[in-house]
Structure 1
């Protein structure tokens, strides 16, 4: 299998590092392009055998799978660069949530999929959210899922739920890390515990909590009930959290959805023009 990557920013480079580190791909199976070519060259230096190319279409020619890891408003330019070189049997995989499968199928002559990776894939865990275009057959899906399974658990989702599942799977690690950071900050400020010690303790706690919620088979409410003795210290603190955080995560979800809907409109305008979306 030969794989191309167009765009090697934060998530593009993470996927490449993870595929190589997990043994899913050898560097010589990967071709990568980036708007700043020096960045692609640096990646090739880190993974000897990986081919860095200066032009996007060069990362797509002859590749079995091409990952598009660019920002939403860069898609029109990239699509125009790829149109003449893509073949019907090739598979283009977008990792950008506000670019729809139907839009890519309108604009490209090949098979289309969309996946939403997570930073947790860097340590070969967590989920990759998968959506498949109409031109993909079962062999295509199995090939893509087989590649992704080296670094994650591929989960098929309905594209209508892209934003909320992305909140949970892809944005979630940042949200939970923020909460953990604030917990650590408060522990240091209130008690004087060394920050390094607090980070180690809190991080291992977080890892163990994740294990309980997955391999351990516990649900979040069940875990809380197991820890919080009625009338005890944990129960009192949980009551305070429930009061102080009431509505916070509802507001977080509304904020991410508002930005997503804004991006949807901008992408549609970029790809089709004003006359299509009615603005």
Structure 2
């Protein structure tokens, strides 16, 4: 199986590295094309045998799977470069949520799927969000689930839920890291704990919490098990509830508003008329 990557930025590079470390495919089967050659060269040093394509066309011509890992407003240029070389039997994986399956199937002759990764996939953890195009066969879906199952938990979602799902799986690590940072900083400032010890305790706490949830303990059960009535945690969590009430509703309002803006920009950029008038 031949693999082509277009883009090796923060998420494209992370995804390529994670899949290569998991031996999902061999470096010699991978061609990466990117505007910033240093990023592809770094991957080539890590994974000897990986090829660097001089153009985007070089990454797709012989590929069975094509990962399109560029910013939403770069899709227009990249699609314009590669679509005449694409074949119906090829499978293109888009990792950008504002670009819709309908837009991709309208503009490209190949099979398309949208898969939204998460930064935690780099640690072979977390979810990957799957949305299938209409041209995929059952065998294609099994192949993709097997591939991403090496670095994540593949979860199929309706495309209409992509923003909310991405808030949890893709934005969530940043949200949780921010909250943990506030917790650690407060421990250092208020109680005088050494920063390195506080950071280590916080990280271990978060990891252990995730493992308990993974084992079937619900979020509510976990709170109840720690919050002994009248105890320190119970008093503190009431303060936390008061301080953070509606915080994530406001956060989601921001992400959804920005997503709506991005959708409109992408639609204008990828309209069929815009391609024909070039």
Q: Classify the TM-score, shorter chain.
A: over 0.9
The offset of 1:273, in angstroms, is 7.1
Mapped to 2, the partners of 1:25 and 1:164 lie a distance apart of 31
The offset of 1:62, in angstroms, is 1.2
Mapped to 1, the partners of 2:176 and 2:34 lie a distance apart of 31
- 1:123 corresponds to: 123
- 2:75 corresponds to: 75
Contact 1:32/1:51 (<8 A) preserved: yes
- 1:56 corresponds to: 56
Mapped to 2, the partners of 1:125 and 1:150 lie a distance apart of 9
- 2:211 corresponds to: 211
Mapped to 2, the partners of 1:144 and 1:3 lie a distance apart of 13
Match of 1:146, SS state, is helix
Mapped to 2, the partners of 1:104 and 1:37 lie a distance apart of 26
- 1:225 corresponds to: 224
Runs (4+) of structure 1 moved beyond 4 Å? Answer: none
Mapped to 2, the partners of 1:10 and 1:147 lie a distance apart of 20
Contact 1:94/1:115 (<8 A) preserved: yes
1:73-109 per-residue CA deviation (whole Å, 9 max, x = no partner) reads: 0000000111111100000000000000000001111
1:124-171 per-residue CA deviation (whole Å, 9 max, x = no partner) reads: 111110000000110111111111111011111000000000000111
- 1:39 corresponds to: 39
**Aligned residues, how many?**
274
Q: Which runs of 5+ in 1 are unaligned?
A: none
The offset of 1:186, in angstroms, is 0.3
Mapped to 1, the partners of 2:99 and 2:184 lie a distance apart of 37
- 1:97 corresponds to: 97
Mapped to 2, the partners of 1:144 and 1:44 lie a distance apart of 24
Contact 1:33/1:53 (<8 A) preserved: yes
Q: Could you state the TM-score of these two structures normalised by the residue count of structure 2?
A: 0.96
Contact 1:116/1:166 (<8 A) preserved: yes
* 2:12 counterpart of 1:12: yes
- 2:22 corresponds to: 22
1:185-215 per-residue CA deviation (whole Å, 9 max, x = no partner) reads: 0000001110000011110010000000112
The offset of 1:122, in angstroms, is 0.9
Mapped to 1, the partners of 2:55 and 2:249 lie a distance apart of 43
Residues 257-276 of structure 1 mapped to structure 2, 5 A cutoff: 257-272=256-271
Mapped to 2, the partners of 1:171 and 1:75 lie a distance apart of 22
- 1:151 corresponds to: 151
Mapped to 1, the partners of 2:272 and 2:79 lie a distance apart of 15
Q: Which runs of 5+ in 2 are unaligned?
A: none
Q: Could you state the TM-score of these two structures normalised by the residue count of structure 1?
A: 0.96
The offset of 1:38, in angstroms, is 3.1
Mapped to 1, the partners of 2:5 and 2:234 lie a distance apart of 49
Mapped to 1, the partners of 2:30 and 2:137 lie a distance apart of 24
Mapped to 1, the partners of 2:157 and 2:219 lie a distance apart of 22
Alignment root-mean-square deviation, CA: 1.2
